[in-house]
């Protein structure tokens, strides 16, 4: 990407882009209101993420955004298919659909618990 991109756009275009970005963030936050925001293992999941050097997604992001789990698996060098087999699913979308009110944080947290237990053996 061109480093000087922002220098080459007009103030009006820049303001429009900022407004669109703000609207998109608000839309995501609104969608996150239907998700379970507080759960018992959240602190444990966040500490595991920290231990493994992972940055958790924002709390209003749904587990339907499976890219975050894929990134975590890649960071840890895990074949996601192994996790799916242990969960009894064939795809991440199928697994995410089993818990529609789950956030991406909780989704990754469960994965990290599985990884931690596997690593201990």
- Give the per-residue pLDDT at 1: 53
- Residue range(s) defining the domain that contains residue 114: 10-120
- Give the per-residue pLDDT at 6: 67
Is residue 60 within 8 A of residue 98, CB to CB? The reply is: no
Mention every residue, 6+ apart, whose C-beta is less than 8 A from residue 55.
49
Residue 97 lies inside a defined structural domain of this protein: yes
Identify the band that residue 113 occupies on the pLDDT scale cut at 50, 70 and 90. very high
Q: What is the pLDDT averaged over residues 38-58?
A: 93
- Give the per-residue pLDDT at 2: 59
**With a threshold of 0.95, does the pTM exceed it?**
no
Residue 81 lies inside a defined structural domain of this protein: yes
d(C-alpha 71, C-alpha 74), whole Å: 5
Residue 82 lies inside a defined structural domain of this protein: yes
Residue 98 scores a pLDDT above 90: yes
**Average pLDDT along the chain:** 90
When divided into structural domains, the chain yields a total of 1
Residue 41 scores a pLDDT above 60: yes
Query: Phi and psi (nearest 5°) for 10?
Result: -75, 160
Ramachandran region of residue 25, left (φ > 0), alpha (ψ -120 to 50) or beta? alpha
Residue 2 lies inside a defined structural domain of this protein: no
Q: What is the pLDDT averaged over residues 6-30?
A: 86
Residue 89 lies inside a defined structural domain of this protein: yes
Residue 21 lies inside a defined structural domain of this protein: yes
Residue 103 lies inside a defined structural domain of this protein: yes
Residue 3 lies inside a defined structural domain of this protein: no
Q: What is the pLDDT averaged over residues 91-101?
A: 94
């Amino acid at each position: 990407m061109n480093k000087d991109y922002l220098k080459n756009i007009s103030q009006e275009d820049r303001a429009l882009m900022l407004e669109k970005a703000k609207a998109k963030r608000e839309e995501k936050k609104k969608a996150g209101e239907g998700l379970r925001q507080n759960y018992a293992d959240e602190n444990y999941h966040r500490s595991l993420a920290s231990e493994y050097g992972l940055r958790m997604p924002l709390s209003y992001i749904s587990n339907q955004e499976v890219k975050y789990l894929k990134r975590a698996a890649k960071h840890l060098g895990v074949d996601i298919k192994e996790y799916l087999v242990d969960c009894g699913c064939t795809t991440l979308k199928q697994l995410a659909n089993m818990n529609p009110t789950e956030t991406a944080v909780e989704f990754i947290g469960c994965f990290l618990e599985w990884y931690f237990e596997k690593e201990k053996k």
